[in-house]
Amino acid sequence: MTVCEYKPGLEGIPAKQSSISFVDGHQGILEYRGIQIEELAKHGSFLETAYLLIWGTLPSQEELTDFEREIRYHRRLKYRIRDMMKCFPESGHPMDALQACAAALGLFYSRRALDDPAYIRAAVVRLLAKLPTMVAAFQLMRKGNDPVQPRDDLDYAANFLYMLNEREPDPLAARVFDVCLTLHAEHTINASTFSAMVTASTLTDPYAVVASAVGTLAGPLHGGANEEVITMLEEIGSVDNVVPYLDGCIAQKTKIMGFGHRVYKVKDPRATILQSLAEQLFEKFGADEYYDVALELERVVSDRLGHKGIYPNVDFYSGLVYRKLGIPTDLFTPIFAIARVAGWLAHWKEQLSENRIFRPTQIYTGTHGEPYIPIGERQNADDQDQLTGLITE
Ligand code: ACO
């Protein structure tokens, strides 16, 4: 076996062969099944895109209609899942609630038949259908309200905004939200997708696959960055404060949230589309007070850090779009999960078709042949540190 060089974060190491999506980080290209993201954002819908990702081809009108109908039918949650959610603390993060609910689906749909296409389809439909209902239900329940039942006459995006805000959304808001879902649906082997693949490779159930991916997406270096962008813009507060803020970040070597990407070394194409969606919303519903700050930050960061390939990523403008849609900040990452479940399921299905359990190796850096010290003779690690400190001083 060839011994490979150790790469922290597995940077540049292929973890699988995949035909689901493609990124060219130098030219700013993202394709789902060979179709450019700009085309899908302009002409497609999220569910059509999910179908494309999971089954590999764009659906015919009949296939799409059937798929949408199945999803509508499965949007409701079992009352026992709602009862479980009632026990969650209101102060808990909605990503934790979503992870717990996704995992709980495995208790209710426990038959595992990974070689049965009908089982695969049912799991795909249930996860796509129920995750939005879970997020909206948790939002209402933590405010002390009853969850709103899904409405069958509304499409996927409009229904989610309706369940969340308890009123039918403006058509532009629903269309913009649907495009946001499309933009977040898939992005090659990022941390959460890798997590999904590793879990899938053990041949566990798809609910466990999605629950592990949700947990991974929650971190601030991944999906959680979109929340931090808003906190950062609030902290900067005004256009005049952008340069001093950035100076502080550079001096303290703090990362600027919503900038930089392991793969993109130019502006993320999704950020460009999201920025234009934000502008459409501002034109119809009024500007966001932080948009000018965001524009100035992008200008100054590109100027100062562009040589390192640091440009806005998908999370930079998504928060401003979601704010305008009346979505609370801590739901930004759960919404990312509602979209990304399409990509996770596509990778789950691809993994099953050519499965080999993930079992990487390591480079051991510990010692060998250490004695077993009886417990009464051991020292606390702190005491040992102090002793070491005393000896070296
Ligand atoms: N602000 C300032 N400098 C940055 C940033 C940033 N956001 N991102 C990277 N850099 C700098 C690093 O300091 C480093 O500089 P150096 O070479 O002089 O030490 C260089 O660029 C390379 O950075 P790494 O952290 O090694 O890049 P990596 O590929 O490991 O990290 C990551 C990518 C995690 C996304 C990083 O850019 C980051 O933390 N960004 C902020 C958080 C964020 O927005 N995450 C969302 C990513 S998109 C997504 O997950 C959906």
Within this chain, do residues 182 and 263 fall inside the same structural domain, yes or no?
Answer: no
What kind and span of H or E run contains 31?
A: strand 29-32
Within this chain, do residues 174 and 303 fall inside the same structural domain, yes or no?
Answer: no
Within this chain, do residues 347 and 268 fall inside the same structural domain, yes or no?
Answer: no
Ligand 1 lined by 76 (C-beta under 6 Å): no
Does residue 82 carry a pLDDT above 70? yes
Task: Please name the residues in contact with 88: beta carbons below 8 A apart, sequence gap of 6 or more.
Answer: 97, 100, 138, 141, 142
Tens-digit pLDDT profile for residues 372-389? 999 999 999 877 666 555
CA angle 354, 356, 361 (to 5 degrees): 145
Closest ligand 1 atom to residue 9 Cα is 30
Distance CA 338, CA 128 (A): 7
CATH classification of the domain holding 276: 1.10.230.10
Within this chain, do residues 207 and 265 fall inside the same structural domain, yes or no?
Answer: no
261 is known as an active-site residue: yes
Cross-strand partners of 23: 30
Residue 255, φ and ψ in degrees, nearest 5: -75, 140
Within this chain, do residues 276 and 172 fall inside the same structural domain, yes or no?
Answer: no
Within this chain, do residues 84 and 174 fall inside the same structural domain, yes or no?
Answer: yes
Tens-digit pLDDT profile for residues 172-224? 999 999 999 999 999 999 999 999 999 999 999 999 999 999 999 999 888 88
Distance CA 166, CA 159 (A): 10
Tens-digit pLDDT profile for residues 97-152? 999 999 999 999 988 899 999 999 999 999 999 999 999 999 999 999 999 999 99
CA–centroid distance, residue 316 to ligand 1 (Å): 13
Ligand 1 lined by 222 (C-beta under 6 Å): yes
Closest ligand 1 atom to residue 309 Cα is 21
Q: 373 in a domain, yes or no?
A: no
315 is known as an active-site residue: yes
Residue labelled with tokens 């850090």:
305
Distance CA 373, CA 139 (A): 52
Q: 392 in a domain, yes or no?
A: no
- Please state, in angstroms and as integers, the Cα–Cα distance from residue 52 to each residue in 31, 106, 169, 186, following that order: 11, 25, 26, 11
Amino acid at 340: R
CATH classification of the domain holding 344: 1.10.580.10
Does residue 70 carry a pLDDT above 90? yes
Q: 207 in a domain, yes or no?
A: yes
CA–centroid distance, residue 255 to ligand 1 (Å): 6
Within this chain, do residues 60 and 209 fall inside the same structural domain, yes or no?
Answer: yes
Q: Quick one: which of 320, 162, 167 has its CA closest to 234?
A: 320
- CA 386: distance to chain centroid? 43
Six token digits for residue 304: 């100062």
Domain count, the chain: 2
Residue nearest to atom 20 of ligand 1 (CA): 308
Ligand 1 lined by 310 (C-beta under 6 Å): yes
Ligand 1 lined by 260 (C-beta under 6 Å): yes
Within this chain, do residues 187 and 67 fall inside the same structural domain, yes or no?
Answer: yes
Within this chain, do residues 125 and 253 fall inside the same structural domain, yes or no?
Answer: no
Q: 334 in a domain, yes or no?
A: no
- How high does pLDDT run on average in the chain? 94
Mutation test residue for ligand 1: of 261, 300, 301, 304, the one with most atoms within 8 Å of CB = 261
Q: Determine how many CB atoms are found less than 10 A away from the CB of residue 364.
A: 7
Question: 43 in the Ramachandran plot: left (φ > 0), alpha (ψ -120 to 50) or beta?
Answer: alpha
Q: Quick one: which of 354, 359, 258 has its CA closest to 314?
A: 258
For residue 200, what are the domain limits?
A: 23-220+340-353
Look at residue 224 in the predicted model and tell me its pLDDT: 82
Within this chain, do residues 92 and 206 fall inside the same structural domain, yes or no?
Answer: yes
Look at residue 222 in the predicted model and tell me its pLDDT: 85
Q: 11 in a domain, yes or no?
A: no
Tens-digit pLDDT profile for residues 314-343? 999 999 999 999 999 999 999 999 999 999
CA–centroid distance, residue 192 to ligand 1 (Å): 17
Q: 344 in a domain, yes or no?
A: yes
Ligand 1 lined by 313 (C-beta under 6 Å): yes
Distance CA 227, CA 220 (A): 8
- Please state, in angstroms and as integers, the Cα–Cα distance from residue 284 to each residue in 46, 159, 279, following that order: 23, 21, 9
Mutation test residue for ligand 1: of 259, 300, 333, the one with most atoms within 8 Å of CB = 259
Q: Determine how many CB atoms are found less than 10 A away from the CB of residue 46.
A: 25
